[in-house]
């Protein structure tokens, strides 16, 4: 029984609405927040939440709400791009393992095992070491972190499909191997992966923000949520709102994606939510 | 009832003597007008409708029906275990004189195991796989405070001995996966007997077992009945019922449609469903010709084709599979046979005997390690796949589980289209060409745009046959084509296969574990054991005069036969039985 | 006798392959880094002449062919020498061992918290009534969706800055361990609870549970004697993830709470491009993973007799 199934249906509805709002905010933040994310009013620094500044202002007098809304696109795009890259790398990797001979399979899967043995954060740190700090590096780092796990799933699924009755039947009909792969193996292998990717998207967003928080991703003037938290942490005693609100939005985003992803998973497993 | 029974019932006679005397005809359970419903509102399922039963010590009542008829649900409802979503109502439900309709959870617990025991199908999962069987068997005694936890050892040993498990001391410490299927089932029966219930509810007690083991378990149940335990036997298998039951109730869609003494119901059925069910039992159906199996005359009358070169020749085929750590298992060991055009050849053996591997070799899906397969006078196994591809249409497979043999995303039209494409039917014509194929197997154009998951088991198997026929093959390999189907559907599919083979002049290699099915459809039979062909010959000869001891064992294991033997008092003696099961175990070792 | 040794040898070989692979991976990654490795040693404010650069190049063997460097590297690792840090004027071994205990302490307490909490919540919420389960599921979902660094910041804001109950950073006071342990352990507990509950519900649907109930066993006995043990099996498969999360989480938690530890060293090393330290940390975590995996394999056999090798027959 999946968790999504035990959630009341309103949960799913709220998640869908929040997802749409966040998507809009990511594409066109000006709809929600008037000013620019870098505009500061040095006469109004570290002000608490009020009717004028919903989320308060930071140490440079910038409106936290405006910055947080503008930050939506960073987290969302880092998470989505990383998952996308991860899926592409993993598809090649997993399918190659499943469709190549025993030696190739062993080598490729051993490599995945080795990468899985390292903590994802450490792997990400090594990638950032190569690419240098920045949004691109973090995106790639998160992608590399998810790829080996995906590759295992794809390989497993591909092997199941390859040994399935319908592939055997196609062989028995004399259908050519490349045609069998395109017609049966690929679609039946990749469909479950899309669901898995949705479920993982939440984790990717979260990891991306964590790396930015550690100072490896988007750098401070950028209104990325993780980076905003780093800035805000210095003012926890005086101005809790600087760190609180971006984090709250981050939680909302991860929660939304997770709920939608689990629902998709439940549906694809044949259990309607 | 006193709760101070003998520890575990060292022997049955002792317990009975020291216990309160129980009249032989004591009614243990009486139920009238029982209904079970699942869920509520419009989605409600009415699983059991207005069923009445009486269970008595020392007698066996059978509940027969196909899967989904509600018989297992009924069995559970009698134990108060129909599940959290179920609503159980009845006019009357008395267990040992107490009104079970008023039972709270605590009352039910005093009844379960103590008055009514449960033996379910497949002991591998019905016994906790993480605990030794000794602890499982002791559990009911401890739960009902019959024996102190630390004193259960001797009682467990006595129970294991009673159900015929050799070396009980040792076996009590074994885990379910370490035992053979038969011993496991015996252990499960022992655990159900541990708190000395008056009635055992046995839900398909022999279904997951091989035929020869099945027979021995039935003999054990017969022995228990003779010792005074009442039985509620839930089964889809009429042969099992015939062997054991005194009375039978036939269930169909939740209702009992016919009930009465076994002899009467099985010989003079009144309800049309009972008649259909009986007709559907392989081997019970009237034969096409009295003298021989239906395939024989056709094969003989097939003309030049039958006398000409054989269609399929397998010579000395060997196939190994690697198992853990460098060892290998020989799945097919030096097998040779021929199959002529228009002939239906049966291949029978128990699970794991290598039948499916042999099918893979014939189909060219596996390559033999040595030996050869020739098709239509030309090499088959020794040719590269590239050359073989063009001729694959000459032989097709009808699989056991058609659902997994179809791409789950595809509709029937597309599935058949792929097969038609293999014989170069151009794309625009495929849909129109698919229709006659469907009609040939008794389906209509209404099925064309459905996905396999939206079809019933029988319809799926029909689609599988239609796909196999699409390439106009000369040879069909049927790998257990009916074993996943209900009895009545089985009969229809077998009739369809027989008719098609006749009218199209197909050669059929028919693989089954079920002797009755083989006998009905085949002219000649190969008996396979441990990868080897141990006996071959015309099907009637093999059935009436088996040469190999294994064939004889297989035949004696057909439940109907063992039932008759059990009734006549000639139950196979236990020592022989132990020996076979011990061998079975050492093989697994 | 040989039959008994073989699996052990295979196991050891597998472990060596994983560690070797991780080490090779980190070596390869460092070669991919653009720029002169000497820059990483002398820093960006390079007031260093070409002769001195040449000397450094020789001292760190950068002048050797890549293959020789690799072989050298492996040889040194095999004999336990991890090299010297570029920045800290200490051997990598000293750097890591000095920082090891705070991380181990944090990880052990967090694991304990996660295991105890998840088992307790699973058992308490697996009853007949559905409401405790629903509420608990909602809380789990919330915790799982909360990034650890923000959870840490939230806890700091509430308990340290506003309530003043707990210290803001590591003071050596045992109380300073509370928030980091909760931050690291809580998300793990949430996931573990989900897996345990799923396992428990699956086990409760299994045929052997029906058999146990039909014996007249009370519901709590059915759960404690049969179902709970089964529910731990899927949880054990999570171990790899568990170890990774502890180590990765340590990087974040140690930074949020400004605690010393291996995670902080790793992050600092990446920022400073202190390659030998990075390699040391990678090798260390691979070894930890391999050791934990071996321990868990043992645990599996304790829980599940079907996986024991020498209790007679192997499952067919």
**Do residues B378 and B246 share a domain?**
no
Chain A closest CA to B356's CA: distance in Å?
A: 13
Q: Which residues of C touch A119 (CB under 8 A)?
A: 243-245, 247-248, 285
CA-CA-CA-CA dihedral for B535, B540, B541, B546, to nearest 10: 50
Q: Are residues B107 and B211 in the same domain?
A: yes
pLDDT per residue over A201-257, tens digit each? Answer: 888 888 888 888 888 888 877 788 888 888 877 777 777 787 888 888 888 888 888
Specify the higher pLDDT residue, B573 or C263: C263
How confident is the model at residue C2, as a pLDDT?
53
Regarding whether B303 and B269 lie in a shared domain, the answer is no
Identify which has the larger pLDDT, B192 or A50: B192
Judged by a CB distance cut-off of 8 A, whether residue C305 touches chain B is yes
For residue C62 the two structure tokens come to 């950068």
A236–C149: do the CB atoms touch at under 8 Å? no
Given this model, what pLDDT does residue B509 score?
93
What CA–CA distance (Å, rounded) separates B372 from B365? 14
Q: How many residues are recorded in chain A?
A: 273
Contact B419 A173 (CB under 8 A): yes
| Residue B1 covered by a domain | no
Mutate to test the interface with B, among A1, A160, A168, A174 (most CBs of B within 10 A): A174
For position B416, what pLDDT does the model report?
Answer: 92
Q: Is the pLDDT of residue C22 over 50?
A: yes
Counting residues of chain A whose pLDDT is more than 90, the rounded percentage is: 4
Which pLDDT score is estimated for B396? 92
At which of B196, B221, B243 does a domain end? B196
pLDDT at residue number B345: 92
Q: pLDDT at residue C271 above 60?
A: yes
Distance CA B380, CA B364 (A): 7
B31 within 8 A of B92, measured Cβ to Cβ? yes
Q: Which residue has the higher pLDDT, C271 or A78?
A: A78
Q: What residue ranges define each of the domains in chain A, with the CATH number in brackets?
A: 57-268 (1.10.3720.10)
Q: Which residues pair with B87 in a beta bridge?
A: B37
Closest CA to B255 of B271, B244, B267, B243: B271
Indicate yes or no: CB of C216 within 8 angstroms of CB of B81: no
CB contact under 8 A, B471 and A187: no
pLDDT tens digits, residue range C250-261?
888 888 888 888
Quote the DSSP letter at residue B5. -
The answer to whether A168 contacts B467, with C-beta atoms less than 8 Å apart, is no
Q: Any idea which of A59-63, B299-303, B496-500, C206-210 has the lowest mean pLDDT?
A: B299-303
Q: Which of A88-92, B307-311, C271-275 has the highest mean pLDDT?
A: A88-92
Helices (H), chain C: 2-32, 37-42, 50-59, 66-78, 92-124, 131-145, 148-155, 178-204, 207-214, 219-221, 228-236, 239-256, 262-272, 275-303
**Which of A:200-259 have CB within 8 Å of C?**
202, 206, 209-210, 213-216, 226, 229, 232-233, 236-237, 240, 243-244, 247, 250-251, 254-255, 258-259
Distance CA C177, CA C105 (A): 9
B120/C312 touch (CB, cutoff 8 Å), yes or no? no
* Residue B107 domain flag: yes
| Residue B177 is assigned to a structural domain of this protein | yes
Q: Rg of chain A's alpha carbons, rounded to an integer?
A: 22
- My answer on whether B129 and B244 are in the same domain is no
Contact B412, B449 (CB under 8 A): yes
User: In angstroms, what CA-CA distances link B24 with A236, B15, B19, B57, B93?
Assistant: 83, 15, 14, 6, 21
pLDDT over threshold 80, residue C306: no
Q: What is the model's pLDDT at position B476?
A: 92
Residue B209 maps to a domain: yes
Task: Give the closest-approach CA distance of A181 to chain B in angstroms.
Answer: 12
User: B456: which residues sit within 8 A by CB, 6+ positions away?
Assistant: B489
**Single residue among B225, B247, B279 that ends a domain in this structure:** B279
* pLDDT for the residue numbered C316: 27
pLDDT of residue C158: 82
Any domain includes B11: no
Q: Say if B5 falls within a structural domain.
A: no
Query: For chain B, what is the domain count?
Result: 3
Bridge partners, B98 (sequence order):
B95
**3 state DSSP class of A23:** helix
Q: Check whether C70 has a pLDDT greater than 90.
A: no
Above 90 in pLDDT, residue C127?
A: no
Q: Chain C, 199-228: which have a CB under 8 Å from a chain B CB? A: 206-208, 210-219, 221, 225-226
Cα(A236)–Cα(C154) distance, rounded to whole angstroms?
9
Instruction: Please provide the distance, in angstroms rounded to a whole number, between the alpha carbons at the two ends of chain A.
Output: 10
pTM of the model: 0.75
Residue A273 has pLDDT above 70, yes or no: no
Residues B353 and B373 in one domain: yes
Residue ranges in chain B whose pLDDT is less than 70: 1-25, 208, 280-308, 323-326, 556-589
**Bridge partners, residue B536, by sequence:** B526
Token pair in block for residue C27: 């070596």
pLDDT at B581: 43
- CA neighbor of C221 nearest in space, from B104, A210, B131, B254: B131
Tokens of B475: 């040879």
B568 in the same domain as B480:
yes
Query: Are B180 and B316 part of one and the same domain?
Result: no
Distance CA B470, CA B464 (A): 10
Residues 6+ apart with CB under 8 A from B401: A165, B484
CATH number of the domain residue B75 falls in: 3.40.50.300
Ramachandran class of B572: left when φ > 0, alpha when ψ lies in -120 to 50, beta otherwise: beta
Judge if B497 and B573 occupy the same domain: yes
CB atoms within 10 A of CB B10: 16
In a domain, B284, yes or no: no
Q: What is the pLDDT of residues B66-96, one digit of tens each?
A: 777 888 889 889 988 888 788 888 898 888 8
Give the pLDDT mean for A119-146: 86
Check CB contact under 8 Å for A3 and C140.
yes
Same domain, B144 and B217: no
Contacts C161 to A, Cβ<8 Å: 236-237, 240
Gap between the Cα atoms of C281 and C284, Å rounded: 5
Q: What is the mean pLDDT of residues C82-89?
A: 75
- How far from A116 is each of B579, C269, C276, CA to CA, in Å? 50, 22, 22
- The reported pLDDT for the residue numbered C170 is 67
Length of chain C: 316
pLDDT on residue B463: 92
Give me the CATH topology for the region C96-311. Answer: MetI-like fold (1.10.3720)
Predicted pLDDT of residue C53: 75
Q: Is B586 on the interface with C (CB under 8 A)?
A: no
**B190 contacts B134 by C-beta, under 8 angstroms:** no
* Average confidence (pLDDT) over A144-152: 87
pLDDT for position B61: 92
B84 touches chain C (CB under 8 A): yes
Structural domain including B304 reads 296-586
Chain B residues within 8 A of C208 when measuring between CB atoms: 125-129
């Amino acid at each position: 029984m999946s968790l999504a199934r035990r959630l009341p249906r309103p949960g799913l509805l709220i998640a869908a609405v929040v997802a749409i709002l966040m998507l809009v905010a990511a594409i066109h933040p000006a709809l929600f927040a008037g000013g620019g994310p870098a505009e500061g009013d040095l006469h109004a620094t570290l002000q608490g939440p009020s009717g004028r500044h919903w989320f308060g202002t930071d140490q440079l007098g910038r409106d936290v709400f405006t910055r947080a809304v503008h930050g939506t696109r960073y987290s969302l795009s880092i998470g989505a791009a990383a998952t996308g890259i991860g899926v592409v790398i993993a598809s090649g990797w997993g399918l190659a393992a499943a469709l190549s001979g025993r030696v190739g399979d062993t080598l490729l899967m051993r490599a995945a095992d080795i990468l899985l043995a390292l903590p994802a954060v450490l792997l990400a740190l090594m990638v950032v070491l190569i690419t240098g700090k920045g949004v691109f590096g973090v995106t790639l780092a998160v992608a590399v972190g998810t790829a080996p796990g995906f590759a295992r799933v794809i390989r497993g699924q591909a092997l199941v499909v390859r040994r399935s009755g319908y592939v055997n039947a196609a062989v028995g009909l004399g259908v050519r191997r490349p045609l069998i792969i395109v017609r049966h193996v690929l679609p039946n292998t990749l469909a479950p992966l899309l669901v898995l990717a949705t479920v993982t998207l939440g984790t990717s967003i979260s990891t991306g923000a964590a790396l930015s928080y550690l100072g490896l991703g988007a750098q401070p003037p950028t209104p990325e949520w993780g980076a905003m938290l780093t800035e805000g942490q210095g003012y926890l005693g005086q101005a809790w709102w600087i760190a609180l609100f971006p984090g709250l939005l981050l939680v909302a985003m991860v929660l939304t994606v997770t709920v939608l992803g689990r629902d998709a998973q439940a549906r694809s497993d044949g259990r309607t939510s | 009832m006193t709760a101070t029974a003998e520890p575990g019932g060292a022997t049955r006679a002792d317990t009975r003597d020291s216990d309160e005397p129980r009249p032989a005809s004591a009614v243990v359970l009486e139920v009238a007008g029982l209904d079970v419903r699942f869920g509520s509102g419009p989605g409600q399922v009415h699983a059991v409708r207005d069923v009445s039963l009486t269970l008595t010590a020392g007698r066996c009542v059978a509940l027969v029906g196909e899967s989904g008829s509600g018989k297992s649900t009924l069995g559970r409802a009698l134990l108060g275990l129909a599940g959290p979503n179920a609503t159980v109502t009845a006019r009357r439900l008395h267990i040992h004189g107490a009104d079970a309709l008023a039972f709270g959870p605590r009352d039910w617990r005093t009844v379960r195991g103590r008055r009514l025991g449960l033996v379910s199908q497949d002991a591998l999962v019905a016994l906790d796989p993480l605990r030794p069987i000794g602890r499982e068997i002791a559990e009911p005694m401890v739960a009902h405070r019959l024996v102190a936890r630390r004193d259960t050892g001797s009682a467990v040993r006595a129970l294991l001995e009673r159900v015929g498990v050799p070396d009980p001391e040792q076996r009590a410490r074994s885990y379910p996966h370490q035992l053979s299927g038969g011993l496991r089932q015996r252990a499960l029966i022992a655990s159900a007997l541990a708190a000395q219930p008056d009635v055992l509810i046995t839900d398909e007690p022999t279904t997951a077992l091989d035929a020869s083991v099945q027979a021995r378990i039935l003999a054990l149940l017969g022995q228990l009945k003779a010792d005074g335990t009442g039985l509620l036997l839930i089964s889809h298998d009429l042969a099992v019922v015939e062997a054991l039951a005194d009375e039978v109730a036939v269930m169909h869609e939740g209702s009992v449609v016919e009930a009465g003494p076994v002899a009467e119901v099985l010989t003079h059925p009144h309800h049309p469903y009972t008649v259909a069910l009986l007709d559907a039992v392989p081997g019970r159906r009237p034969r096409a010709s009295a003298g021989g199996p239906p395939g024989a005359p056709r094969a003989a009358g097939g003309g030049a084709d039958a006398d000409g070169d054989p269609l399929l020749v397998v010579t000395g085929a060997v196939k190994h599979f690697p198992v853990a750590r460098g060892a290998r298992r020989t799945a097919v060991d030096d097998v040779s046979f021929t199959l002529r055009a228009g002939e239906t050849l049966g291949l029978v053996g128990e699970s794991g005997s290598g039948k499916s591997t042999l099918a893979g070799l014939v189909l060219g899906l596996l390559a033999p390690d040595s030996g050869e397969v020739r098709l239509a006078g030309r090499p088959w196994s020794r040719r590269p796949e590239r050359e073989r591809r063009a001729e694959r249409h000459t032989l097709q497979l009808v699989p056991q589980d058609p659902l997994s043999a179809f791409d789950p995303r595809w509709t029937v039209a597309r599935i058949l289209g792929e097969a038609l494409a293999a014989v170069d039917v151009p794309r625009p014509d495929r849909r129109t060409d698919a229709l006659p194929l469907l009609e040939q197997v008794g389906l209509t154009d209404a099925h064309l745009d459905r996905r396999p998951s939206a079809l019933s088991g029988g319809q799926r198997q029909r689609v599988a046959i239609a796909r196999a026929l699409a390439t106009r093959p000369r040879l069909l390999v049927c790998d257990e084509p009916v074993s996943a189907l209900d009895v009545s559907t089985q009969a229809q599919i077998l009739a369809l296969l027989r008719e098609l083979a006749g009218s199209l002049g197909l050669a059929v290699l028919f693989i089954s574990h079920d002797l009755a099915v083989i006998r009905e459809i085949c002219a000649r039979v190969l008996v396979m054991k441990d990868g080897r062909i141990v006996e071959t010959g015309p099907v009637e000869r093999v059935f009436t005069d088996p040469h190999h001891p294994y064939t004889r064992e297989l035949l004696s294991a057909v439940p109907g036969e063992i039932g008759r033997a059990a009734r006549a008092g000639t139950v196979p003696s236990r020592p022989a039985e132990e020996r076979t099961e011990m061998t079975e175990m050492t093989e697994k070792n | 006798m040989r039959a008994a040794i073989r699996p052990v040898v295979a196991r050891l070989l597998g472990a060596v392959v994983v560690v070797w692979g991780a080490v090779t991976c980190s070596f390869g990654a460092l070669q991919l880094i653009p720029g002169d490795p000497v820059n990483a040693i002398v820093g960006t404010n390079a007031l260093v002449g070409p002769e001195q650069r040449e000397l450094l190049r020789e001292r760190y063997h950068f002048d050797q062919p890549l293959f020789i460097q690799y072989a050298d590297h492996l040889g040194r690792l095999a004999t336990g020498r991890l090299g010297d840090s570029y920045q800290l004027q200490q051997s990598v071994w000293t750097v890591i061992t000095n920082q090891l205990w705070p991380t181990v302490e944090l990880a052990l307490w967090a694991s304990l918290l996660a295991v105890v909490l998840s088992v307790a919540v699973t058992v308490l919420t697996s009853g007949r009534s559905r409401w405790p389960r629903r509420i608990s599921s909602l809380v789990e979902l919330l915790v799982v969706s909360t990034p650890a660094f923000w959870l840490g910041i939230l806890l700091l804001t509430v308990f340290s800055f506003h309530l003043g109950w707990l210290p803001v950073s590591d003071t050596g006071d045992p109380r300073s361990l509370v928030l980091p342990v909760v931050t690291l352990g809580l998300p793990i507990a949430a996931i573990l609870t989900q897996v345990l509950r799923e396992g428990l519900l699956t086990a409760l649907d299994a045929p052997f549970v029906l058999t146990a109930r039909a014996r007249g066993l009370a519901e709590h006995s059915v759960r404690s004697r049969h179902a709970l043990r089964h529910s731990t099996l899927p949880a054990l498969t999570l171990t790899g993830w568990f170890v990774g999360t502890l180590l990765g989480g340590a990087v974040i938690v140690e930074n949020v709470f400004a605690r010393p530890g291996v995670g902080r060293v790793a992050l600092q090393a990446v920022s400073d491009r202190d390659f030998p330290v990075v390699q040391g940390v990678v090798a260390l975590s691979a070894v930890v993973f391999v050791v934990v995996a071996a321990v868990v394999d043992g645990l599996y056999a304790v829980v599940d007799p079907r996986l024991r090798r020498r209790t007679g027959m192997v499952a067919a």
